[in-house]
């Protein structure tokens, strides 16, 4: 077994973890909403039609933030269709996913659900087929106290107090040719700047997220980001980054190495933002929102595969990815990349919450089960609290086609001062061998190992689809303290967390 040496010094810190980094995403796509979180005739649902079993899992996951209502869906969405008496709401052609939207679930239903789930909302406005005026009306409906057309409309719908929604996305993935109302960077940048200006006149307390590149593989990346920031830097509080990875056919070494691409993507965008800051002589450091991220894995047996092959159905089962152990390991690596950039990334939304690239799967008319990716999210959201540490690492590595040097061990350390513990997370990318970590604590005084968990499986392609308990973390005895060294033995292809009590 080879050894990876990791030095964690008390004085070298990145930044405090923002709780909003543990967000998720709900979009009117497939079964994400209907039979995902909302299913009035399900035995598990409450008086509002919300699935109580899903709500309970959301709370246990410690999801803090949810982005709504899209996604590609939002770029042709009329929010007015989803408010008011349900019996009067129109059924509409939904262009993004070629389905029929009933509008039975809309703004007020979401906010009622959000209160029960104890999450903070991020709303997205339609800058595809609509623009400044519509965004202003939507904000007025949600946040203005009363005495105006749209605030009084909200009151007529039974919501007397304004919601006070603080985070707003100005459109979605406007760099993508797939997007309804796709625009050039110059067109979008100007529209976002004007929309944001008006929205902040109505509510100066809100924060705005502008669209960055949808993927690191976009032909317009990173020029898009620089052009948009050039137009909207003064009004924007965050630049949105989206990133999904597939590529399971690359083989495990290449597949798990893709987190290095994400590191480079974020590094590049941070540098691009710094260039625009200097160009504008601004004193503001741009912050970032990775408000869509995840592993994209559509198996051949998926219902209707990725796209809706039988269009114009209500809530069709599309793109229902089933995740393997291998997928969960890349998912955990992506989460560590985000946390390692905690000084700049303040918001992150795993995509999506239910049924599509989801942590939680539901059976229509039945119960739910948890995917392999649920568990890394759970452990990061519940235990990565405090300060992300800047560590130094040296150990064995491998090479693959895209990356010449990939460490077998990917890790993260978080110092939770309030609980007097150091929490260490790690993924062993090695498919065949155990790896040993020598975690050397400098200026920390360690007392004991509080808990150590490991998630692995006999087969890297194992899922929880049929045996819902097949892939989940187990408590292990793999960590030993010797003075200021913590020695940890990691199983091949495993996700791990070790909690260390410190003085």
* Secondary-structure class of domain 18-383 per CATH: alpha beta
Active-site residue identified among 292, 320, 326, 489: 292
* CA nearest to 64, candidates 17, 121, 111, 119: 119
Enumerate the CATH 3.20.20.80 domain ranges in the chain, comma separated.
Answer: 18-383
DSSP 8-state assignment for residue 324: B
| pLDDT tens-place string over residues 466-482 | 999 999 999 999 999 99
Q: What is the mean pLDDT of residues 386-398?
A: 97
Tokens of 184: 């050039």
Rounded CA-CA distance 176/500 in Å is 45
* 63 contacts: CB under 8 Å, gap ≥ 6: 22, 23, 24, 117, 119, 353, 381
Report the pLDDT value the prediction gives residue 297, as an integer from 0 to 100. Answer: 74
Active-site residue identified among 101, 173, 326, 421: 173
For residue 14, the surrounding DSSP H or E stretch is strand 13-16
| pLDDT tens-place string over residues 65-100 | 999 999 999 999 999 999 999 999 999 999 999 999
Which CATH superfamily includes the segment(s) 2-10+387-502?
A: Golgi alpha-mannosidase II (2.60.40.1180)
Flag whether pLDDT at 300 surpasses 60: no
Q: How many residues does the chain have?
A: 503
Report residue 310's pLDDT band, with 50, 70 and 90 as the boundaries. confident
Whether the predicted model's global pTM rises above the 0.85 cut: yes
Flag whether pLDDT at 305 surpasses 80: no
In the three-class reduction of DSSP (H, G, I as helix; E, B as strand; rest coil), residue 351 is classed as coil
Rounded CA-CA distance 398/403 in Å is 9
| pLDDT tens-place string over residues 171-190 | 999 999 999 999 999 999 99
Active site (annotated) includes residue 173: yes
> Which residues share a beta bridge with 398?
406
Enumerate the CATH 2.60.40.1180 domain ranges in the chain, comma separated.
Answer: 2-10+387-502
Flag whether pLDDT at 166 surpasses 50: yes
End-to-end CA distance of the chain: 31
CA distances from 86 to 83, 210, 324 (A): 8, 32, 39
Report the pLDDT value the prediction gives residue 308, as an integer from 0 to 100. Answer: 57
CA distances from 188 to 81, 131, 198, 225 (A): 25, 10, 15, 11
């Amino acid at each position: 077994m080879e050894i990876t040496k990791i030095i964690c010094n008390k004085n070298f810190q990145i930044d405090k973890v923002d709780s909003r980094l543990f967000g998720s995403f709900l979009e009117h796509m497939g079964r994400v909403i209907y039979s995902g979180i909302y299913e009035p005739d399900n035995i598990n649902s409450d008086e509002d039609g919300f699935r109580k079993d899903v709500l309970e899992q959301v709370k246990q996951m410690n999801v803090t933030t949810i982005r709504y209502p899209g996604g590609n869906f939002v770029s042709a969405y009329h929010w007015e269709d989803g408010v008011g008496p349900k019996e009067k709401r129109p059924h509409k052609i939904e262009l993004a996913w070629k389905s029929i939207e009933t509008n039975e679930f809309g703004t007020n239903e979401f906010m009622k659900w959000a209160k029960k789930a104890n999450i903070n909302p991020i709303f997205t406005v339609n800058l595809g087929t609509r623009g400044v005026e519509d965004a202003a009306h939507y904000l007025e409906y949600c946040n203005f106290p009363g005495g105006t057309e749209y605030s009084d409309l909200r009151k007529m719908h039974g919501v007397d107090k304004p919601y006070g929604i603080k985070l707003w996305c100005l459109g979605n993935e406007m760099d993508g040719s797939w997007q309804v109302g796709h625009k050039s960077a110059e067109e979008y940048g100007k529209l976002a700047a004007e929309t944001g200006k008006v929205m902040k006149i109505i509510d100066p307390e809100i924060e705005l997220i502008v669209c960055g590149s949808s993927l690191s593989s976009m032909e317009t990346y990173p020029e898009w980001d620089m052009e948009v920031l050039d137009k909207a830097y003064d009004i924007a509080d965050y630049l949105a980054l989206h990133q999904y990875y597939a590529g399971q056919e690359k083989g495990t070494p290449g597949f798990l190495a893709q987190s290095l691409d994400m590191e480079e993507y974020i590094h590049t965008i941070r540098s691009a933002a710094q260039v625009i800051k200097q160009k504008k002589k601004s004193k503001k450091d741009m912050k970032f929102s990775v408000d869509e991220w995840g592993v994209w894995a559509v198996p051949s047996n998926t219902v209707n595969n990725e796209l809706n092959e039988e269009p114009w159905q209500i809530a069709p089962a599309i793109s229902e990815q089933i995740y393997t152990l291998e997928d969960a390991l890349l998912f955990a690596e992506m989460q560590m990349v985000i946390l390692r950039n905690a000084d700049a990334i303040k918001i992150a939304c795993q995509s999506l919450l239910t049924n599509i690239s989801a942590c939680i799967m539901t059976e229509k008319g039945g119960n739910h089960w948890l995917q392999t990716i649920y568990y890394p999210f759970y452990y990061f959201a519940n235990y990565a609290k405090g300060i992300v540490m800047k560590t130094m690492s040296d150990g064995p590595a491998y090479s693959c086609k895209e990356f010449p040097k990939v460490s077998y061990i990917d890790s993260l350390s978080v110092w939770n001062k309030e609980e007097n513990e150091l929490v260490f997370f790690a993924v062993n990318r090695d498919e065949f061998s155990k790896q040993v970590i020598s975690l050397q604590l400098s200026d920390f005084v360690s007392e004991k190992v509080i808990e150590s968990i490991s998630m692995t499986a006999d087969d890297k392609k194992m899922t929880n689809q049929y045996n819902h308990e097949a892939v989940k973390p187990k408590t292990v005895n793999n960590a030993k303290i010797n003075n200021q060294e913590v020695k940890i033995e990691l199983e091949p292809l495993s996700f791990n967390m070790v909690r260390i009590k410190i003085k």
